[in-house]
Amino acid sequence: MGLLKIFSSKKPQEYEQKGDELLAAKEYGAAKIEYEAALDRVEKVCPNDEHLKERIRQKLIQAKDSLARLHQQAGQELIEAEAFEQAEERLRLALELAEDPELVVEIEEQLRKIEDQMTEEGDDFPNFDLRRAEDAEDDPDYQERVDEYFTILCSSLPEQLAEAYQSYGDNFKIGYVALNHGDFDLALDKLKQAMEEIPSPSFIPLELAKVYLNLNQYQAAIPLLEALLKAHPDLLSGYQLLCEAYWAVENFDQAQKTLSSLPKELADSLPAQLLRGETLFRAKQYQEAESFYISCMESFGWDENLARGLAITYEALGEKEKALNLYGEIMDECRGCGFRIDPFIKQRYAELWFESGRECSTRILELFLSLVHEDPSNRAHYYKRISQIYAAQGDERQARRYQLFAKKLEGDEQQEPAEPEEAEQKPAGPEEAESKTAHQEQDSASGYTISSSIPAVDGEGGE
């Protein structure tokens, strides 16, 4: 297709007319491509026609500004959701496109506000060396900073946990802050000391188990959590972490047994159903997982986490059309409610659409373009997809451009230390999607990630 387009006798006005149709349909990205092709054609066939050049150039500016305003609007929505890093990425895209001087000023002002907000957040959460806390008696100002940060962390906890944590002493305080800073060795040492100091039962095993899970020491975490739940059988976050540990060692029967013994108030809750569904999926009992998710959606009504689990299960069963439709439904629900679409959902929808052999519209192209910024660790793959879509549309210049971007990134990665390969097309399970996307979220009270498909009950165990 690309070669035919290169040697075609298509007139600039034909590209222009196509751009006009797309602009009227608010397909600004596609219109931009057509106007750029029209200008390129003008330079080849009638380079002295300044009137035609200016007319097309003005339409190109209109398309670019309209697309910039869409990115600006998306950026503002992300600002309101306090997703400042993603908002900055969208606004910088808008700034690259914008031609209208007033629009440029507006976007630059939004970017300044984001910078001020992120600076303010940085002041609230100082990046200090926790190991200095060993000599805190000689530095009361520093000790005060550690205390303040610990208080901030506790403020997001349920009242029962917050009150208990405040009473556990300095070793627990330093260990808990270290856990949230990702210093797992220090956290392990300090939380072990705190366990020796504080009589059982306490909630310290919950945090120590998170350290073990971060260190991939699952067998060490399991007995801690089992004992904790005997003392606190209503602690949802304990069951979430225990299931994570059982899944990691592939002890799915024990996970199911644990979930079948939940207290009544938890057993009938949505978080418990999500744990059961995910356990079935992890055990590769895909047919059972499919039936379970469908039954839950009939009982609980629409829920994004249930829908996501079902969509991933459809993929595992090879039911890609069903998965594609369900991911699309999740995206529509997010748009209808004004919520940001999870990058994982975008990625799976775009990939399945691409793999289906359907024609890739500007909408699919823009999904991949947005994923470049929302999921930067997989940029090389997204650049390849963008290049392939441009090539299919006959835009060889853009196809080559993005192919070069992909090759450059791949070359940079080859020079870095090797990392474990990640599944590109199908996630291993509902809980793994956020490692590179948005399908896991970090428990606000720890450095350990738990499945976002398991929301907290009554504010316990999550953000």
Provide the sign of the torsion angle of the four alpha carbons 148, 149, 155, 157, taken in this order: negative
- Identify the bridge partners of residue 449 per DSSP, sorted by sequence position: 442
CA atoms in the 13 A half-sphere facing the CB of 335: 8
Checking if the pLDDT of 305 tops 90, the result is yes
205 located within any domain:
yes
Instruction: Find, among 293, 296, 329, the residue nearest to 310 by Cα.
Output: 293
pLDDT of 377 higher than 80: yes
Q: Are 220 and 208 in contact (CB under 8 A)?
A: no
112 and 178 part of one domain: no
| pLDDT at 345 (0 to 100) | 95
pLDDT in tens, 94-145: 888 888 888 988 998 988 888 877 665 544 444 556 665 555 545 666 677 7
194 part of a folded domain:
yes
pLDDT beyond 70 at 415:
no
Average the pLDDT over 326-351 and give the result: 86
Number of domains in the chain: 2
Share of the chain above pLDDT 90, in %: 45
CB 429 within 8 A of CB 204: no
Determine, yes or no, domain membership for 136: yes
* Domain-embedded: residue 254: no
Q: Which residue type occupies 366?
A: E
Q: Which amino acid would we find at residue 429?
A: G
Helix 379-392 to helix 396-414 angle, to the nearest 10 degrees?
160
Report how far residue 374's alpha carbon sits from residue 74's, in angstroms, rounded to the nearest whole number: 13
119 shares a domain with 14: yes
Reading the block at residue 221, the tokens are 């975490």
Residue at 207 is within a domain? yes
**CA atoms lying within 13 Å on the CB side of residue 372:** 21
91 and 135 inside one domain: no
Residue 95 is predicted with a pLDDT of 86
When mean pLDDT is compared across 117-121, 301-305, 312-316, 341-345, the lowest value belongs to 117-121
Question: What one-letter code names the amino acid at 171?
Answer: N
Contacts 24+ apart (CB under 8 A), 386-390: 388/354, 389/354, 389/360, 389/364, 389/365, 390/365
> Does residue 421 surpass a pLDDT of 80?
no
Distance CA 386, CA 373 (A): 13
Buried b (16+ CB within 10 A) or exposed e, 299-337: eeeebbbbbbbbbbbbbbeebbebbbebbebbbebbeee
Average pLDDT for 373-384: 89
- Is pLDDT above 60 for 453? no
Q: Where are the alpha helices (DSSP H) in 283-355?
A: 286-300, 304-316, 320-337, 343-355
Q: What integer pLDDT is reported at residue 456 of this predicted model?
A: 38
Instruction: For residues 173 and 194, give the distance between their C-alpha atoms in angstroms, rounded to a whole number.
Output: 9
Domain co-membership, 113 together with 132: no
- Please tell me which of 53-62, 154-163, 242-251 the model is most confident about, judged by mean pLDDT: 242-251
> Does position 325 have pLDDT exceeding 80, yes or no?
yes
Pair (15, 93) in one structural domain: yes
Domain shared by 139 and 99, yes or no: no
pLDDT score for 350: 95
Does 6 share its domain with 117? yes
* pLDDT higher than threshold 50 for residue 200: yes
Q: Domain check: are 113 and 39 in the same one?
A: yes
**Which positions ≥6 away from 297 have C-beta within 8 Å?**
303, 306, 307, 310
pLDDT at position 461 over 50? no
What is the extent of the structural domain holding 73?
Answer: 2-124
Q: Name the domain boundary from 103, 124, 145.
A: 124
Type of residue found at 128: F
Q: What is the mean pLDDT of the chain?
A: 82
Do residues 96 and 137 share a domain? no
Mean pLDDT check: name the lowest of 88-102, 200-214, 319-333, 449-463: 449-463
User: Can you tell me the distance from the alpha carbon of 150 to that of 140, in angstroms, rounded to the nearest whole number?
Assistant: 15
Structural domain contains residue 179:
yes
pLDDT digits (tens, 9 = 90+) for 26-39: 888 888 888 988 98
Q: Which of 325, 333, 326 is nearest to 309 (CA)?
A: 326
Least confident of 7-21, 353-367, 392-406, 436-450: 436-450
Q: How far is CA 4 from the centre of its chain?
A: 40
pLDDT above 90 (res 82): no
| pLDDT of res. 121 | 53
Q: Are residues 132 and 118 in the same domain?
A: no
Contacts 24+ apart (CB under 8 A), 345-348: 345/308, 345/438, 346/370, 346/371, 346/374, 347/371, 347/375, 347/378, 347/437, 348/311, 348/312, 348/315, 348/323
CA separation for the pair 445, 162 (Å, rounded): 10
pTM over 0.75: no
Last residue of a domain, one of 124, 142, 172: 124
Residues 7 and 116 in one domain: yes
pLDDT above 50: residue 436: no
Per-residue pLDDT at 410 exceeds 70: yes
Check whether 450 has a pLDDT greater than 80: no
The pLDDT of residue 250: 96
Query: Can you give the pLDDT at residue 312?
Result: 97
Whole-number Å distance between alpha carbons of 409 and 432: 24
- Collapsing DSSP to helix, strand or coil, 269 comes out as coil
Rounded Cα–Cα distance for residues 239 and 235 (Å):
7
Banded model confidence at residue 258, pLDDT cuts 50, 70, 90: very high
Q: Please report whether residue 100 resides in a domain.
A: yes
Note whether 108 and 198 are same-domain residues.
no
Q: What is the pLDDT of residue 138?
A: 58
Q: Tell me if 237 sits within 8 A of 450, measured CB to CB.
A: yes
Q: Which residues pair with 460 in a beta bridge?
A: 457
Average pLDDT estimate for 178-199: 92
43 domain residue, yes or no: yes
Which of the listed residues 68, 98, 124 is the one where a domain comes to its end?
Answer: 124
